[in-house]
């Protein structure tokens, strides 16, 4: 198991290094949502270039009210999104920013699913973004190397935050993910 953990860490470090060697090929994305279930919708989208330049930072008005439990996590209330664009209005710009890119997300499977759900609930139908998704959370789990026999995989780790009690914001989470990728590439942490 020790060799496997070391190999996984080295591969995760190489993944981060390869990203940083080709900054024109990828972007970071994060969303804040109304929840985690099959009806959850996006309420904020952030897209960041690998050099730290914000490419998109927008609130999104969902089709249903934001539950108080979600607001408690990210601080985005129904009042905040009352005048925000609907997802169907944001989608063309998002699609143009992401087209042909590798999209790196901390928990890519979740964000990809919620973006598809939001598109469907916004009347866009089965709308998949034309991107390759890569999960920084899975790579970080490999980098940390805590194995779970129960799950048969490396344990997912929370995104490291300077203030664990701070509210989540999409662009801030993109910046934290970028910093994590840079630390992994350098062999730090």
Structure confidence by residue, pLDDT tens digits, 148-181:
888 888 999 999 998 877 778 999 999 999 999 9
φ and ψ at residue 157, rounded to 5 degrees:
-115, 145
- Mean pLDDT value across residues 68-90: 96
**Looking at residue 25, which CATH number applies to its domain?**
3.30.420.10
- pLDDT band per the 50, 70, 90 thresholds, residue 3: low
DSSP code at position 153: E
Neighbours of 64 (CB within 10 A): 12
pTM across the whole model: 0.93
- pLDDT band per the 50, 70, 90 thresholds, residue 189: confident
Q: How many domains does the chain have?
A: 1
- Mean pLDDT value across residues 118-144: 91
Collapsing DSSP states into helix, strand and coil, what is residue 75?
coil
Beta bridge partners of 42: 33
Average pLDDT, the chain: 93
Alpha-carbon distance 42 to 69, whole Å? 15
Closest CA to 127 of 115, 110, 140, 142: 115
Residue 2 has pLDDT above 60, yes or no: no
Residue 95 has pLDDT above 60, yes or no: yes
Alpha-carbon distance 66 to 43, whole Å? 8
Order of strands across the sheet that contains 54-59: 54-59, 42-48, 26-33, 102-105, 132-135
**Domain region containing 146:** 2-186
- pLDDT band per the 50, 70, 90 thresholds, residue 65: very high
Alpha-carbon distance 164 to 31, whole Å? 18
């Amino acid at each position: 198991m020790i060799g496997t953990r070391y190999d996984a860490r080295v591969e995760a470090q190489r993944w981060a290094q390869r990203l940083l060697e080709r900054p024109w090929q990828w972007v970071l994305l994060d969303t804040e949502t109304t929840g985690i279930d099959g009806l959850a919708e996006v309420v904020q989208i952030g897209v960041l270039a690998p050099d730290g330049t914000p490419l998109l930072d927008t609130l999104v008005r969902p089709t249903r009210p934001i539950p108080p439990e979600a607001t408690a996590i990210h601080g985005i209330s129904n009042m905040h999104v009352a005048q925000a664009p609907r997802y169907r209005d944001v989608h063309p710009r998002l699609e143009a920013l992401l087209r042909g890119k590798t999209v790196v997300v901390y928990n890519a499977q979740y964000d990809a699913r919620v973006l598809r759900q939001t598109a469907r609930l916004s009347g866009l139908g089965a709308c998949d973004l034309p991107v390759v998704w890569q999960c920084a959370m899975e790579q970080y789990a490999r980098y940390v190397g805590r194995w779970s026999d129960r799950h048969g995989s490396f344990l997912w780790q929370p995104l490291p935050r300077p203030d664990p009690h701070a509210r989540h914001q999409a662009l801030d989470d993109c910046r934290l993910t970028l910093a994590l990728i840079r630390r992994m590439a350098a062999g730090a942490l």
